Amino acid sequence: MPPGLSVTADFLALYMGVPGTLGRPRQCNHLVDFFQMNYLTGKHILLGITGGIAAYKGAELVRQLRLSGADVRVVMTAAATEFIPPLTLQALSGNPVHTDLLDPAAEAAMGHIELARWADALLVAPATADFIARVAEGRANDLLAAVWLACDAPVALAPAMNRAMWENPATAENLATLQARNIRILGPAEGLQACGETGPGRLLETDELVAGLSALFQTGALAGQHVLVTAGPTREAIDPVRYLSNYSSGRMGFAVAAAAAEAGAQVTLVSGPVSLATPAGVERIDVESAADMYSAVMQAVTTADIFISVAAVADYRPADVAPQKLKKESADISLQLVRNPDILAAVAALPDAPFTAGFAAETEHLETNAQQKRRAKGVDMIAANQVGAGLGFGREENALHVFWETGEQQLALADKGKLARQLLDLIARQFHDSHHQGKILKFHAKDST
């Protein structure tokens, strides 16, 4: 463990799968990475605060989340506003605080569905016994419960209540219901309570809540795998000062690389020229042209288990690169273009090819063109997106239609980070399935010899 860090037994219980009081244990093979990485930077975090005595700790939690680089919005129950003024949380989060489900003004600005869509993760801390009962029942009778029900991002709650309320079988049953739905329960801790009693029911410390939230993004779905991603445009030189390129910003590819790292993979990102920061835990190789990208990919792919081609690689390059700047001498000039290597097809055709996933940016006939491309290149998965007319390139949001041999899935319009995490989930599932199938085939082949 890095020096200067100390952890509680509960904390380890959550991340190392050691039995503890922090709710459902999970496995983490990258403990050191875990401690060194913060997966909250740039994330949209929705913090729900309910009406318990620990609601005042919401102020410090908002501060810590913002220090971690998250964009925070707060939703409060009516009872919570009795314990801490919304104004405090508005000032600390830098965003308006949401409290009313049936307020027409609030709905117009950011209604419950908008808030749920906006969130990369939802944490309710503190969560009262009553709130836990409401969401276990599937109620949507106030803004926070409605957002909870509408949220398809990872959700967690941190219970805080009197010891006897916590130990009551009704609360235990509600918690078990939520755990069965894969809801992450953070805490509670044990100790002296506001009511003067001692026992379980204290809200976890703020740093433990922040770490627990960050861990929501660490799915471990690709732990131990090497994922190679390409991103951005390529530049095809015309002369020393000019090139052919396209509008790709690299955002989708960088989001895919970040999501793969969060899923526990070792990630290599081969990037064309973009102005984006390298995601945490990702090894980046910068290239300019399609030919450079081809060489970098062919070198890195030898150890890759999964190859995800997101780069908008130029199909053609000028046949000759002028050694000096072309002069404005004639009224028109023509450029002769020659085909660039198809990197995705080349990787898919390797004798020991990794699982391959590509992107198909289409301006028309999305489904037909994407499936044709997938089959023609022998690629395992294609994520098709409509580009042009304000869609796709350079935007923060995107929508995808993903196809593979035996299925398809639509991923609705969402922030590219959220979309990348959903895509990585699909890729991980298909990868593990195909791996499993491959093993069975190899096993049968051995059997028959």
User: Which residues are known catalytic residues?
Assistant: 195
Size of the site for ligand FMN (CB under 6 A): 15
221 is a site residue for ligand FMN (CB under 6 A): no
Question: Which of 23, 48, 52, 233 touches ligand FMN (CB under 6 A)?
Answer: 52
**131 is a contact residue toward ligand FMN (CB under 6 A):** yes
Chosen residue from 48, 51, 264, 358 binding ligand FMN by CB under 6 A: 51
Say how far apart CA 192 and CA 201 lie, in whole Å. 9
Per-residue b/e over 75-98, b at no fewer than 16 CB within 10 Å? bbbebbbebbebeebeebbeeebb
Cβ–Cβ < 8 Å for 330, 354: no
State the virtual CA torsion across 66, 268, 27, 135 in degrees, nearest 10: 50
Q: Is 187 in the site for ligand FMN (CB under 6 A)?
A: no
Interior CA angle at 34 toward 33 and 40, to 5°?
115
In whole angstroms, the minimum distance from the beta carbon of 51 to ligand FMN comes to 3
Question: How many angstroms separate the CA atoms of 164 and 147, rounded?
Answer: 29
Q: Is 129 in the site for ligand FMN (CB under 6 A)?
A: yes
Stretch that binds ligand FMN, among 45-53, 149-157, 260-268, 282-290 (CB under 6 A): 45-53
- Binding status of residue 423 toward ligand FMN by CB under 6 A: no
C-beta of 165: minimal distance to ligand FMN in Å? 6
Nearer to ligand FMN, 165 or 231 (CB): 165
CA 38 to chain centre: 13
209 binds ligand FMN (CB under 6 A): no
CA 23/CA 435 separation, integer angstroms: 31
> Do the strands 121-127 and 44-49 form a parallel or antiparallel pair, or are they unpaired?
parallel
Residues of span 57-116 touching ligand FMN by CB under 6 A: 77, 79-80
Stretch that binds ligand FMN, among 27-35, 93-101, 158-166, 273-281 (CB under 6 A): 158-166
Q: Would you count residue 156 as binding ligand FMN (CB under 6 A)?
A: no
Q: How many CA atoms lie within 13 A of 272 on its CB side?
A: 28
340 touches ligand FMN (CB under 6 A): no
DSSP state letters, 191-204: EE-TTS-EEEEEPP
Least Å from the CB of residue 33 to ligand FMN = 35
Of 160, 67, 74, 80, the C-alpha closest to 122 is: 74
Sites of contact with ligand FMN (CB under 6 A): 50-54, 77, 79-80, 128-131, 160-161, 165
